[in-house]
Amino acid sequence: MSRFVAVVVESDLIQLDRVFDFLVPEHLQATVAIGQRVSFLLGRTKKLQTGFIVALPESSDFAKTEIENIVDDRAVLLPEIYDFARAVANRQVVALGEILSTAIPSHMPRVELEGSKPQQDVVSTPDLIRLDRELTKRSAVLVPPTSLEHSGKLFPGWAMLLAQEAIKTFQLGKSSLLVAPEDGDVEVLRQTLDSLGATDAVVRMTQGAKKSVRFSQFHQVLDQRNVIVIGVRSAIYAPTRNLGFIGLFDDADDSLREQGSPFTHVRELAMMRAGESSRLLFLANYRSIEIQRLVEIGYLSDHDALLRQPQISYTQPGPRFDEAAFKLIRERLDSGPVLILMPRKGNSAAAYCAGCDAKLRCTSCGGPIWEPRAGHLSCRLCLVVHHSCRECGSNKVRLGRTGSSRTVAELGRVFPNVLIAEAAGQKKPSGLKARNQIVVATPSSAPRLPQGYSAVLILDPDVWLASQQLRAEQVAIRDWMEAIELLAPNGRAVISGIDSQLGSAISIGQHRELAKAALKELGGLGLPPTTRICTLQGAPATISEAIASAIESGAKLLRQDLGEQASALISFSYAAGPKLAQVLRSLAVKTNARLVGTNMRRGLRVVMDDPEAI
């Protein structure tokens, strides 16, 4: 029995990010437990708040109010998840409640939960993927973008390796977390685990699912002594017991980063959750700059998967469809479908005025005009239909670079007896033929075929490389490797129109060398991932105080704007991160506890690690 409880609040307000002590009504004293969700009144508000019991103190000088009720008798916040969420909130300078909202689903008393299932045996299988040497506690593996056949089906090398390691961990009585960027990747993982006899051990956690589904999946994991959890980025918070292994595939994919607060990336979360107790494995068909940095500082050991390298060739810049491209398509259509990868969807990625040659802009919002489908010009941002050039008034248009839709039309004229499908954005072709078919796709849109593609042709590589971002080359290589992985075992890939230095490095798999060069360049500029960054927003006086405190804690000021809507961008070393986060958190709590001005503006907003800030 306990007369007192210490509770953390489910709120994203940083000023409420602390532990509150409450009294326990006599009729609940025998049932309260650490990890339960409870309801209570906080301050002067009459609205019930919810939170989680994190301790049962024997006494308290601060408990004056009783909790109202126990929302859920079950302990849904495990101690290890609480410690993990606390560490993430501290690192990103956000409220603990914001992290817990991702980690723990809302209580749904009307959802009927299945009883705990008896633990199933998992079939022991020989290693189908061999490595150059044995994995260590923390490892990075470069996996060629190829698939191998097992039980009459093709499975990507990365999925087979993750499944193997998860099954080994399960047989030792421990749990695994396997995280991939997209639902399609998670489905591939599920099929791979099924083929290895691990069906009964797997729980798939779905991001963006209905609340009832998420609630059921959460409790399904919570009920198991050891389990293999597969999912996208939110699965990193799965309430696994006896966690022994964390595996992450394709770490440079933007889907693994929270695009809004708290701006976390699963790569860093995986390292934090693994700690010193769990094995950690990063796999990719390329080498990201972040993983290369971790290898170079000795945090990760570096490994190669001993798989067949795909056949990749390239052609020098020239005509968009050169002789090599047409030859590849003609030769391979009889062997199976051909995949053509392009950087942009629509009919034309941009449009220009035929009168003054200016790039067309929307008359409403100033956004760029493009042609999403033939004969239809509209704004990319507000979707307003274009009528005339706002510079000279001309209604004559000259189209820019070809998009995927126009490429489909062009190929239809060249290959009149071939079925051509488009896979871009929401367009998902179905019923694909086993041969004599071309699929034109944009990044991450190409359907995965059971037999693989007979050829992959990558068009317009210069568009990828000309993107106005520091990591354009890294993004391009990642997209290309993702497509090349879809090849059949005897398939061929051609990158059409790329310089020989980059083309040669890719064709012989020199991904480490490319990542080393990119890391050295960013290090010379003092930019992530060699450093961390933080954006500060708030009132001018608050930003000035925050800048001074940050510099005193070891940060470097990159830019500032002390106007009415003041902001600043700072950089700092990984070693200085904990101290700086603590200083900024204290200032945020102090300033956010009071409102500034008539527009109820927050005193200080801290945004850690937002790549868009650079």
The amino acid sitting at 471 is: R
Whole-number pLDDT of residue 530: 94
Whole-number pLDDT of residue 600: 45
595, pLDDT greater than 70: no
Please tell me whether the peptide bond between 529 and the residue prior to it is cis, using omega within 30 degrees of 0: yes
Strand 138-142 and strand 301-304: the pairing is: parallel
- Check: CB of residue 242 under 8 Å from CB of residue 277: no
Return the CATH number of 4-77, one of 3.40.1440, 1.10.3470, 3.30.1600, 1.10.10: 3.40.1440
**Helix, strand, coil fractions of the chain, as percent rounded to 5:** 30, 25, 45
Whole-number pLDDT of residue 112: 63
601, pLDDT greater than 60: no
- Check: CB of residue 595 under 8 Å from CB of residue 607: no
CA 153 to the chain's CA centroid: 28
Give the class (CATH, top level) of 138-304.
alpha beta
In terms of Cβ atoms closer than 10 Å to its own Cβ (0-12, 13-18, 19+), residue 355 is middle
Number of H helices, E strands in the chain: 15, 28
Q: How much is the CA Rg of the chain, to the nearest whole Å? A: 27
Whole-number pLDDT of residue 407: 87
Instruction: Tell me the C-alpha distance between 366 and 172, whole Å.
Output: 60
Q: Hey, where are the domains in the chain?
A: 4-77, 138-304, 311-346+402-508, 532-613
Give the class (CATH, top level) of 532-613.
alpha beta
Confidence of residue 428 (pLDDT cuts 50, 70, 90): confident
Tokens of 348: 């034309």
Instruction: Tell me the C-alpha distance between 172 and 175, whole Å.
Output: 9
Q: Where are the extended beta strands (E) located within 391-508?
A: 397-399, 419-423, 437-441, 453-458, 487-496
φ and ψ at residue 52, rounded to 5 degrees? -125, 140
Confidence of residue 203 (pLDDT cuts 50, 70, 90): very high
DSSP 8-class letter at 233: G
Give the class (CATH, top level) of 311-346+402-508.
alpha beta
Tokens of 555: 């940060």
- Check: CB of residue 483 under 8 Å from CB of residue 455: no
How confident is the model over 531-558, as pLDDT tens digits? Answer: 999 999 998 989 999 999 999 999 999 9
What separation in angstroms does the CA of 88 have from each of 14, 82, 183, 285, 367? 14, 10, 24, 28, 37
5, pLDDT greater than 70: yes
Q: What is the DSSP string of 38-77?
A: EEE--TT--S-EEEEEEE--S--SS--SB--EEEESS--S
Q: Over range 108-128, report the average pLDDT.
A: 69
Q: What is the DSSP string of 530-557?
A: SSEEEEEEE-HHHHHHHHHHHHHTT-EE
Q: What angle do CA 257, 261, 263 make, to 5 degrees?
A: 30
How confident is the model over 175-187, as pLDDT tens digits? Answer: 999 999 999 999 9
Sign of CA dihedral 349, 354, 357, 362: negative
How confident is the model over 389-427, as pLDDT tens digits? Answer: 877 878 778 777 778 888 888 888 889 889 999 998 777
How confident is the model over 569-578, as pLDDT tens digits? Answer: 999 999 999 9
* Fold matches, 138-304 and 311-346+402-508: yes
Mean residue pLDDT across the chain: 89
